[in-house]
Amino acid sequence: MPNPYGLTIIDNCLTCPVREEHLFCNLSGVATQKLNEIKSTAVYPKSAMLFIEGQQPRGVFVLCTGKVKLYTSSRQGKTIITKISQPGDVLGLNASISNRPYEVTAEMTEAGQANFITRDGLLQFLREHGEVAVRVAEQLSRNYYTAFEEIRTLGLTSSPSEKFAKLLMQWTAENKSSARPDQFRLTLTHEEIAEMIGTSRETVSRLFSDFKKRQLVQLKGSVLVIRDKPALEKMIQS
C-alpha cells in the first residue's frame, strides 16, 4: 500500500517480507496472529516523536521500517543519544513493563513505519504466550548490559578518539548481515554523533579529519567505509 512518504506499508505481520530474528519477529504462528490482532499500524515522518522522556508509558512501538534515535536530555539542555534503533527493535519496552515513565525520547530520523501495542495489550500478550515472555526477559537483560557498556564507554574512556573508534566498530557489528559490513550510509550529523560519544561537534569534525588522514576510514558521499578495522580495534583495546 503506497503512502505520501513513498513507503510500502506492512499491514500483516504474518506476511511481512522482512521477518528476521528480532523480539517480536519469527514467533509461532499463533503468537504472530495474536500480535497482528493487538497492534495498530502507522507511518511517521522524519522528526516525529513516538514518545517523550518522562511521559507515562502508553505502550511499545515495534519499528518496521526507518530509524529512530533514542536520547535523554538534562535541564541544562545537554543531550546524549543512547541508541539509533533499527527495524525490528521494540521501543519503550522497559517503561511499559515496569510502568515507569519513558526514560528516553524516541524521534524518527527518517520516515518509517511503527506498529503500536498498548501496555495492557502487551501485558496480556505476555501472559498468554510464554515464548514471548521469555524473549522479553532476554531483551530486558540485554538492555541492562547495553546500558552498562554505555556507562563504561562514557565514564571510563578518556580519549574521544577511542570513543569514536568504538562507535564505528559498533556500527560495523550492527551491519554484519549486509554484503559489505564495512560500508554503511551515514545518516547522522556531526552534532548527533557528538551526542552519542559525549563530546562536541567540533571534536567529531576533527576526529573525522584525523581518521581520514590516517586512512582508517573513507567517506564516499554519504557512505562511510571502514578501511582499517584492525587499527580501530587496537585503539579500543589500548
CATH number of domain containing 83: 2.60.120.10
* Cα–Cα distance for residue pair 44/123, rounded to 1 Å: 25
Of 7-11, 23-27, 117-121, 165-169, the least confident = 7-11
Whole-angstrom distance, CA of residue 19 vs CA of residue 129? 19
Number of structural domains the chain divides into = 2
Q: Do both 164 and 152 map to the same domain?
A: no
Write down the residue that cell numbers 516525529 correspond to.
Answer: 48
C-alpha–C-alpha distance, residues 188 and 191, integer Å: 8
Q: What is the pLDDT of residue 156?
A: 66
pLDDT tens digits, 129-157: 998 999 899 889 988 887 777 777 666 66
Does residue 6 lie within any of the structural domains? no
Task: Decide if pLDDT at 1 tops 60.
Answer: no
| 182-197: burial string, b at 16+ Cβ within 10 Å, e else | bebeeebebebbbbbb
**150/184 same-domain check:** no
Q: Do 224 and 147 share a structural domain?
A: no
pLDDT (mean) for 13-38: 77
Span 72-80, mean pLDDT? 85
**168 and 148, same structural domain?**
no
Question: Which of 119, 118, 97, 93 has its CA nearest to residue 106?
Answer: 93
User: Lowest mean pLDDT: which of 49-63, 114-128, 141-155, 216-230?
Assistant: 141-155
| pLDDT of 58 over the 70 cut | yes
pTM comes to: 0.79
218: enclosing H helix or E strand: strand 217-220
> Do residues 32 and 135 both lie within one domain?
yes
- Where does the pLDDT of residue 238 fall: very low under 50, low under 70, confident under 90, or very high at 90 and above? low
**Residue 3 lies inside a defined structural domain of this protein:** no
Domain span holding position 55? 13-156
43 and 127 belong to one structural domain: yes
Please tell me whether residues 152 and 166 are part of one structural domain: no
The residues, ordered by sequence, that sit 6+ positions from 80 with a Cβ below 8 Å of its Cβ are: 71, 72, 73, 154, 195, 196, 198
Give the CATH number for residue 229: 1.10.10.10
